[in-house]
Amino acid sequence: MKKLLLIIGIALIGACQNTHNGSVAVSESKPALSADLLEANKLPLGPAQKRLIRRRMRVFGHIEAPPQSQVNLTAPVPAYLQSVKVIRGESVQAGQILLYLKHPNIAEVQEDFFQFREVYHQMRREWERSQALFAKGALPERDYLQSRSNWATARTDLAQAIGKLENMGLDSASLKPGAPVPVLPLRAPFSGQVESIALRQGELAQADQAIIRLLANRHLHLELRVPARHRQHLRAGQKLNFWSNLTADSLEGEIYLINQVAEDNGFFIAHGHFADSLAHVFPGVTVEADVFYRSDSLWALPAAAVSERDGHYYALYREGDQLLPQEVEVFSQDQGWLGIGHFAGGRKQHYVLRGVRYLLGDAQSGHSH
């Protein structure tokens, strides 16, 4: 680090003689940095390239969800909220346990199941016996029909008991007599986000009372406000990048529907789709988006080869043993490349392809080294 600072300091000795108040005027002062910095920092050189750069428009909007994407999860039986395993806004996967419920009713439903199962087996054996006796003429028809009716009732009662267990998220095949499951897990029926939690730990939830509201990922979409002057550039299928203060990086999507009638404020609403699996995307979140609406063949440099200062953009090109700053005009940025429209030093110059922001930052710091 000391070696790098020393090289930068030597390179700036000549430049500081032409500075005002100790800083280099990047757009006016030619001698700026020594080409030795390239080797010291292993910085590559290369010419500008002709590339297809997509033009973009910046719009604003929010994440929207239709009503059918919101589902209230309820308590299957009256029970107390023993523990909650998620928090509001958390992303969950299908089948994930959200909370546990506890109440004597939970054990009673399991005990009812075992009683109905025992009756079912008794009535089945009785029905099979009645069939055999009736076939031999040893059983009156009335008793035969009564036995068949009893078995049919037992089948219905058992099916209803199994249905109650399944509604509670319990598997009848895994239950054991005399060892009921003490708590009831409530699982997410699909992947999504926890939008709200209605009860606190220890509170009683009545049967069919909403406890947690889940929001399905698959129904979320973008609603973007597009100024009327940009409406002519919009088409269904156009790619876009969007981001919010909840996302570290931009996310990808595309336009799928554009309202044909403007809102009262003169904006058009464009609807955008994005991947269902995106995390940190919730209804109501404000977003910014870049919609790519056409491609142009432009001279381009990597984004890391350009530095912005006070609304002006600069690149560094090599001339002899010096690195000279050159102001450039940036038309658009696309996938890490900047479309450049002005080359005062000529398109055959070799430019520093990364680290320019830091190099020019060092140059602008003047005598600080």
pTM of the model: 0.54
CATH assignment at residue 230: 2.40.30.170
Query: pLDDT tens digits, residue range 84-118?
Result: 999 988 889 999 999 999 988 888 889 999 999 99
Could you say which of 294, 321, 340 is where a domain stops? 294
Query: pLDDT tens digits, residue range 215-257?
Result: 887 778 899 999 988 888 899 999 999 998 877 788 899 999 9
171 lies in the same domain as 283: no
Residues of the chain predicted below pLDDT 50: 1-31, 365-369
Q: Which two tokens stand for residue 278?
A: 């995106």
Q: How far is CA 33 from CA 9, 10, 113, 345, in A?
A: 9, 9, 83, 17
339 in Cβ contact with 303 (< 8 Å): no
206 lies in the same domain as 100: yes
283 lies in the same domain as 360: no
**Sheet bearing 210-216, strands edge to edge:** 70-74, 210-216, 192-197, 91-92
78 lies in the same domain as 158: yes
Supply the range of the domain harboring residue 99: 70-215
Could you say which of 241, 267, 294 is where a domain stops? 294
Could you say which of 199, 215, 231 is where a domain stops? 215
pLDDT of residue 17: 39
92 lies in the same domain as 105: yes
Number of domains composing the chain: 3
181 lies in the same domain as 127: yes
Q: Which two tokens stand for residue 161?
A: 């008991």
104 lies in the same domain as 141: yes
303 lies in the same domain as 288: no
